[in-house]
Chain A
Amino acid sequence: MNTLATFEHGTPVGTVHEFLMEHGYAVLTATAGGRTREALAELAPHIDAAAFGHDDFLGRRTKRVGGVLAKSPAARHLALDDVVMELCRRTFLPFSPNWQLNFSGIMHLEPGAEAQRLHRDGSLYPVRHPCPPMVIAAMWALTPFREDNGGTRIAPGSHLWDHGRLPRDNEVVSVSMPAGALLLYTGGLWHGGGRNRSRSARTGLALQYSWSWLRQEENQYLANPPDVARHYDERLRRLIGYDFGGPYLGFVDGDDPHRVFEPGHAGPPRRSRPEIDERCLAIEPLRLGETRAVAAPGGAGEAVEGFTGPHIAGS
């Protein structure tokens, strides 16, 4: 079963953005040219060398590779994909003066991999859903994704559900898409890796983006220290965090963090950039409501025990 909407390459970004905000996901076909093939070739040795996960959530037949930018020039291109950047701009700037790469990882499901518990990526931060879009995940299909090989399972529209409502079986759909396609979803969408009962591996490259004033899920400064990141272009360096997260936010030595790549620069230290100041003025501060601890739906880790497990009715 696959009733998911798919957008052809070249669809106006505004159309994709509107759909993403309304349904919490969007699938785009063939946007990457040959980049996903290159990324798979560059990352294959790292996947071969990687260990399987040590628990059910990480997957006992699933391999993960982090710090992908340092390992793959093609992944560095994908991270800056024009369509993804424009979606980030539209989605994040109402809430944040900048955005950043939050996570980079290979999710490689070998045959026999079990389905991952459904979860919301945004639950990393102590907010109650529904909440404004803090995170966008871009899952690039490095191999085809199908229902039988572990294609990501998603619950369309669930980014708008109350915090305690869990997806039922008939609300969860597997994403099918050819290699080179892209699945986008917001941090509020219930999703999880599927079960791979095929005879070949399913490989996805997940790149996540978030508001720039949040701590990154994967620490990009440690994964891409200055002597590694100096080989990247400036746009990418700024995207991974060598930039202000807002006025006065994220400086080094009282200056623009990007100046770690500009030895001997002249001029006074900067505490912001004009573009960041301008965006900051356009943000309506977020109003916070109740701040109590709430039971995580579905128990530990705020995740459901597979979508064939017990269900708790909406609350």
Chain B
Amino acid sequence: MEVPRAAGSTPPDELADAIAEHGCVIIENLADETVARAAGELERHIRQAPLGPGNFHGDFAKNVEGLVGRSAAVHDLMIDETVLALADRLLLPNCVRYQINYTGIMHLEPGAGAQELHRDGDMYPFRHPSPPTIMATMWAGTEFTADNGGTLLAPGSHLWEDERRAGAAEVVAAAMPAGSALVYLGGLIHGGGANASDRSRTGIAVQYSLGWLRQEENLHLAVPPGLARTLPDRLARLVGYDFGGPFCGFVHGDDPHRLIEDEPLGGRRHSTPELDEAAAAVNRWRWGEIEPVTKPKRAS
């Protein structure tokens, strides 16, 4: 059982094919300098966060969400070109616009136990396997190893039937140097590993989802208009100051992006020709028998 690995220079079509087949890929040293900056900017927030109950990973773990408001370097990771090229290919067959779904630090102190294996996509009530609803990235803020809590993955499990559980032999730890990105689909069975080392392990998680689904982290509340105005425009759109599709997500009868523009609202724009055209090409899901595999979309 292996996690496919690739260099950052690998063409996105190849990376997308690997993810479609295995449910995951490690892109080594994709953004070393940016990740180092982000880890530095987030260090204070990690230090101040409490350990203990309420966390995803238990007593020796810390979770800090709302990263958009905490680190400028993380903004660059959120709009990393390679990652967005993968989201284009893996999510756009099933939505007109994708969105950021979740931002958070997954920090494991020495002694942290392994997290229960799960599928991120389970928050939507679709039977697996289903078309990808989520594409997750886990940026290695520190090195990830098998003994410091590197993410446990069951490669290929995004195509398994709902009921099938991962056997011990089907699970492998994601090992990667700091600055790398693990990219996986919401259908992949995975979980944080146990940290048996004497150093902490820090992951920076950024997830993307189909733009017509509700976000796991409410980014309109985490990123109010005043903060959104200060962001790179691509990022402001990705957190939700954009349509999810024609007639999807408007405010005051207009494009939510207008809230962070200088022009006043009131153009009564519920869609655009570009959105309408994209919507006509998007898959429409039939509720019934299974046809789960979506081919990655090709760059045109």
Contacts and interface: CB of A to CB of B under 8 A. Distances in A.
Contact of B283 (A254, A283, A291): A291
Interface residues of A, number: 66
Contact of A251 (B53, B212, B216, B266): B216
A288 B287 contact: yes
A51 B252 CA distance: 12
Interface in B130-173: 130-131, 162
Interface in A88-146: 95-97, 105, 124-128, 131-132
A95 to B, nearest CB: 7
A128 B285 contact: yes
Contact of A288 (B54, B66, B292): B292
A291 B213 CA distance: 16
A268 B247 CA distance: 38
A124 B212 contact: yes
Interface residues of B, number: 64
B86 interface: no
Nearest to B130: A288
A249 to B, nearest CB: 5
Interface string B200-221: 0000000000011111111011
Contacts of B224: 225
A135 B105 CA distance: 35
A217 B291 contact: no
A96 B256 CA distance: 26
B189 to A, nearest CB: 15
A126 B212 contact: yes
A246 B123 contact: yes
A127 B131 CA distance: 13
A247 interface: yes
A241 B288 CA distance: 29
A314 interface: no
A168 B127 CA distance: 36
A216 B214 CA distance: 8
A67 interface: yes
Contacts of B65: 251-254
A41 interface: no
Contacts of B274: none
B60 interface: no
A253 B250 contact: no
Contacts of B216: 248-251
Contacts of A293: 280-284
B36 interface: no
Nearest to B271: A301
Contact of A212 (B162, B214, B268): B214
Contacts of A300: 276, 280
B220 A285 contact: no
A305 B279 CA distance: 19
A213 B125 contact: yes
Interface in A175-228: 212-219, 221-223, 225-226
Nearest to B280: A296
Contacts of B249: 215-219
Interface in B250-289: 250-253, 256, 259, 266, 268, 270, 276, 279-289
Contacts of B217: 250-252
Interface string A278-300: 00100101111111111110001
A126 B290 contact: no
Interface in A157-174: 163
Given A64-B253, A128-B285, A250 B215 contact: yes
Nearest to B268: A54
Interface in B76-122: 93-95, 104
Contacts of B282: 126, 293
Contact of B287 (A54, A251, A289, A295): A289
A249 B123 contact: yes
27 contacts: A96-B125, A105-B253, A126-B212, A126-B283, A128-B284, A212-B214, A217-B250, A219-B256, A223-B252, A225-B224, A245-B214, A248-B123, A250-B214, A253-B65, A254-B54, A268-B52, A285-B125, A285-B162, A286-B126, A287-B126, A288-B286, A288-B292, A289-B288, A290-B289, A291-B294, A293-B281, A293-B284
Interface of B: 52-54, 63-66, 93-95, 104, 123-127, 130-131, 162, 211-218, 220-222, 224-225, 240, 244-253, 256, 259, 266, 268, 270, 276, 279-292, 294
Given A283-B125, A293-B280, 16 more contacts: A51-B268, A64-B253, A124-B246, A127-B287, A218-B250, A219-B240, A219-B251, A222-B251, A246-B125, A254-B64, A257-B218, A288-B127, A289-B289, A291-B285, A291-B291, A291-B292
